[in-house]
């Protein structure tokens, strides 16, 4: 994975999505604050849940001349943290508010959300 993509994911056998927590206020921000940022001393790294429920979404319909198929983008409200993360939605033919998604590493975007099917473990 590229260096910028690696900064979104923690190391270990199971990938963890990384964020930052403000040391003074407790506010959680995603993506994480970079170590080179002038604000870095105000934040500490934090692993956040990769799974959550779809809060809002839209379907993008590219110009037919591009040859690209429609795709969905949405906000996923992550479990266990007051964070909504925006990203591409994959794996469901029709996204639905409240549907379950899991963030997974992606070489192009850094992460995407894949639909968690009924009965599939989070």
What residues have CB less than 8 Å from 15, skipping those under 6 apart?
Answer: 9, 50, 104, 105
pLDDT, tens digit, 9 for 90 and up, residues 18-53: 999 999 999 999 999 998 999 999 999 999 999 999
Tens digits of per-residue pLDDT, 45-66?
Answer: 999 999 999 999 999 999 999 9
Give domain status of residue 86, yes or no: yes
Farthest-apart Cα atoms in the chain, separation: 50
Is the residue at 53 inside a domain? yes
Q: Give the pLDDT confidence of 65-120 residue by residue, as tens digits.
A: 999 999 999 999 999 888 999 999 999 788 999 999 999 999 999 999 999 975 45
- In total, the chain counts a number of residues equal to 122
CB 43 within 8 A of CB 29: yes
Structure tokens, 96? 């639905």
CATH code for the domain in which residue 33 is found: 2.40.50.840
- Is residue 120 in a domain? no
- Could you tell me which of 104, 105, 102 has the C-alpha nearest to residue 116? 102
**45 in a domain, yes or no?**
yes
Has residue 43 been placed in a domain? yes
**What number of H helices and E strands is found in the chain?**
1, 9
Tell whether 70 is covered by a domain: yes
98 falls within a domain: yes
Going by pLDDT thresholds of 50, 70 and 90, the confidence category of residue 15 is confident
Which residues, listed in sequence order, are joined to residue 2 by a DSSP beta bridge? none
- Show Cβ contacts of residue 27 under 8 Å, excluding neighbours closer than 6 positions: 21
Q: What is the total count of domains within the chain?
A: 1
Q: Residue 81: inside a domain, yes or no?
A: yes
In which domain, by residue range, is 10 found? Answer: 3-115
């Amino acid at each position: 994975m590229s260096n910028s993509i690696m900064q979104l994911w923690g190391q270990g056998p199971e990938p963890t999505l990384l964020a930052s927590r403000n040391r003074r206020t407790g506010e959680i921000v995603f993506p994480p604050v970079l170590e080179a940022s002038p604000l870095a001393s105000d934040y500490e790294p934090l692993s956040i849940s990769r799974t959550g429920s779809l809060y809002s979404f839209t379907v993008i319909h590219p110009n037919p001349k591009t040859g690209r198929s429609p795709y969905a983008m949405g906000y996923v409200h992550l479990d266990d943290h007051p964070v909504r993360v925006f990203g591409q939605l994959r794996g469901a033919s029709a996204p639905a508010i409240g549907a379950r998604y899991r963030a997974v590493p992606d070489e192009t975007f850094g992460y995407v959300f894949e639909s968690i099917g009924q009965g599939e473990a989070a």
